[in-house]
Amino acid sequence: MKLCKVIGFATSSIKYEGLSPYKLLVLKTIDNNGLPSGDAFLAVDTLGAGFSDVVAVTTGVTATNAVNNKDLPVDAAVIAILDHVSINKKEIHTKNKEE
Amino acid sequence: MKLCKVIGFATSSIKYEGLSPYKLLVLKTIDNNGLPSGDAFLAVDTLGAGFSDVVAVTTGVTATNAVNNKDLPVDAAVIAILDHVSINKKEIHTKNKEE
Amino acid sequence: MKLCKVIGFATSSIKYEGLSPYKLLVLKTIDNNGLPSGDAFLAVDTLGAGFSDVVAVTTGVTATNAVNNKDLPVDAAVIAILDHVSINKKEIHTKNKEE
Amino acid sequence: MKLCKVIGFATSSIKYEGLSPYKLLVLKTIDNNGLPSGDAFLAVDTLGAGFSDVVAVTTGVTATNAVNNKDLPVDAAVIAILDHVSINKKEIHTKNKEE
Amino acid sequence: MKLCKVIGFATSSIKYEGLSPYKLLVLKTIDNNGLPSGDAFLAVDTLGAGFSDVVAVTTGVTATNAVNNKDLPVDAAVIAILDHVSINKKEIHTKNKEE
């Protein structure tokens, strides 16, 4: 799964019919320091992820499992909002409890 | 899903039989400023996306869900024409209403 | 789908049994000027694509749809031989009619 | 499969329901010298891989085979903890027996 | 399919149960001159590919077709040992008959 930060949102009025219930998040993968890097992409979310949350994103057809609908045309979905991420025994992300 | 801009079109007279009903769009992903970047690729479209539209593109086998035909050999399909895209609370794309 | 040019061919005497009927094309994706770039890869073809043809290639499991056989271990297949490709309203590829 | 080193761990309290039994490993692919390189990503593990282990990671929908559950939204899973890896007849990784 | 050279091997005593019958090859894609480049990765093989062989590797779920077992968690498999590969009408690989 990609290790990502939520950096924005997208809205659409003309879309594949079954997509209406889902929020479209804009995300980037994070680097060793927890900073967003690379190209932005879109994922659906059913867990209530918010701006600046660090999340695990499943990509490809397994995203349809995250929404429990194998017929939905989605290739990326948030499957976990992460509390802690460590790299080489150093914490690179700790979820802010007030958030 | 990839965050893309429609930058062109492709036509073909010799193709897999079931592809005839679909327009082939040429797309690129967009960067933080909403500009096309990277390699161009092709996707099918059923939503009527036009030149310079910013769209969400599903890739891989889930593209077959977008055309409601799991037997079609397509690996990329437009699933939403985007009205607004924000990155870090700054709007990087707003759909032109006259378009 | 990838936007590619046929740049060569590969042959094999020791291969997965069901592959015998298919020609193995060597391809590269094309850039904004229609020139091959990046790493070469292999795809199967059922449309009769020839050297220097510009084609649409579906990748991943949808390549098995192109050969109408979901049990074949192929991850790339030509699904269209392209006549015209435009980027930013400029024609970057026009199929030579004599070819 | 990706050739990877386990470089950390992630934890989550808000996640897709079925993920609870699985540990989330943070991994990077290794280079010719066996050193981690590129972007970190997440995988599930059922084999008990520990910090600094070199492992084979299957990606995409086949990760659901590794957990024997085709409905789980995971796209990366450890399928082997590697004892020896050689490149050009030089051993680039040998598992420490005391570990 | 990826155009690859076999550059090494990996062994494992702790692995997903069904993997035991398969050899794990270490591979890299080859460039225009037939030389290995980029990151090394792993694939299963059922054709008897040996060190320095040039092979076609299918990636993703279609690798399970190569082993005729859709439940195996493999995402890369050799599907052909290549005899000849040409790029721009120049032979970049010819299999050594004595090998």
State pLDDT tens for residues B50-74: 999 999 999 999 999 999 999 999 9
Which pTM was predicted?
0.96
The answer to whether residue A68 is domain-embedded is yes
Which residue type occupies B35? Answer: L
Average pLDDT for A15-25: 96
Average pLDDT for E62-72: 98
E99 — pLDDT class (breaks 50, 70, 90): very low
Residue keyed to tokens 């909002």: A81
Contact state of C77 with B73 under an 8 Å Cβ cutoff: yes
Question: Which residue is closest to B38 within chain A, CA to CA?
Answer: A39
C96 — pLDDT class (breaks 50, 70, 90): confident
Q: Convert the pLDDT of each residue in B10-28 to its tens digit.
A: 999 999 999 999 999 999 9
Residues forming beta bridges with residue B28, ordered by sequence position: B5
The answer to whether residue A23 is domain-embedded is yes
Contacts of D87 in chain E (CB under 8 A): 7-8, 26, 40
Question: Which residue is closest to C54 within chain B, CA to CA?
Answer: B12
Collect all residues from B whose CB is shorter than 8 A from any CB in C.
Answer: 7-16, 19, 24, 26, 39-43, 51, 60-61, 63-64, 71-76
Q: Is the pLDDT of residue C97 over 90?
A: no
Domain containing residue A84:
2-94
Q: How confident is the model at residue C99, as a pLDDT? A: 47
**Alpha-carbon separation of residue C40 from C6, D71, E1, E33, E88 (angstroms):** 10, 35, 10, 11, 11
Contacts of C64 in chain E (CB under 8 A): 62, 65
Q: Convert the pLDDT of each residue in E87-96 to its tens digit.
A: 999 999 999 8
The Cα A7–Cα A75 span in angstroms is: 18
Residue B99's Cβ-count burial label (10 Å; 0-12, 13-18, 19+) is: exposed
A96 — pLDDT class (breaks 50, 70, 90): confident
Question: Which residue is closest to A60 within chain B, CA to CA?
Answer: B60
The CATH number of residue E54's host domain is 2.40.50.220
Q: Is the pLDDT of residue D76 over 60?
A: yes
Decide: C55 and C4 in contact? Cβ < 8 Å.
yes
Decide: A38 and A28 in contact? Cβ < 8 Å.
yes
The answer to whether ipTM exceeds 0.90 is yes
Q: Is the pLDDT of residue C88 over 90?
A: yes
The answer to whether residue C73 is domain-embedded is yes
Distance from CA of D84 to the nearest CA of A (A): 22
Question: Which residue is closest to E12 within chain D, CA to CA?
Answer: D82
Q: Is the pLDDT of residue E97 over 80?
A: no
Collect all residues from D whose CB is shorter than 8 A from any CB in E.
Answer: 1-3, 29-32, 37-38, 47-48, 56, 58-63, 65-66, 77, 79-89, 92
Give the number of beta-carbon pairs within 8 Å between A and D: 99
Cross-chain CB nearest to E86 (options C8, C14, C71)? C8
Q: How confident is the model at residue B99, as a pLDDT? A: 47
Distance of CA C7 to the CA centre of its chain: 10
Average pLDDT for B28-56: 96
Q: Convert the pLDDT of each residue in C31-81 to its tens digit.
A: 988 999 999 999 999 999 999 999 999 999 999 999 999 999 999 999 999
Q: Is the pLDDT of residue D99 over 80?
A: no
Q: Is the pLDDT of residue A18 over 90?
A: yes
Distance from CA of C30 to the nearest CA of E (A): 15
The answer to whether residue E99 is domain-embedded is no
**Alpha-carbon separation of residue B57 from A12, B54, B77, C89, E91 (angstroms):** 13, 10, 5, 21, 38
Q: Convert the pLDDT of each residue in E12-33 to its tens digit.
A: 999 999 999 999 999 999 998 8
Contact state of C88 with B8 under an 8 Å Cβ cutoff: yes
Q: Is the pLDDT of residue E69 over 70?
A: yes
* Total structural domains within chain E: 1
Decide: A40 and B87 in contact? Cβ < 8 Å.
yes
φ/ψ of B64, rounded to 5, equals -70, -25
**In percent, how much of chain D has pLDDT > 70?**
97
Q: Is the pLDDT of residue C98 over 60?
A: no
Cross-chain CB nearest to C59 (options B8, B10, B75)? B75
Tell me the residue ranges of DSSP E strands in chain A. 2-15, 23-30, 36-45, 54-59, 76-87, 90-94
Contacts of C56 in chain B (CB under 8 A): 10, 12, 15, 24, 42
Q: How confident is the model at residue A97, as a pLDDT? A: 66
Contact state of B72 with C61 under an 8 Å Cβ cutoff: no
Q: Convert the pLDDT of each residue in C16-39 to its tens digit.
A: 999 999 999 999 999 988 999 999
The answer to whether residue C99 is domain-embedded is no
Distance of CA A22 to the CA centre of its chain: 12
The answer to whether residue B99 is domain-embedded is no
Structure tokens at E82: 């290549």
CB within 8 Å of B83: residues ≥ 6 apart: A11, A12, A13, B94, B95
H-helix or E-strand spanning residue A66: helix A63-66
The answer to whether residue B60 is domain-embedded is yes
Contact state of E83 with C26 under an 8 Å Cβ cutoff: no
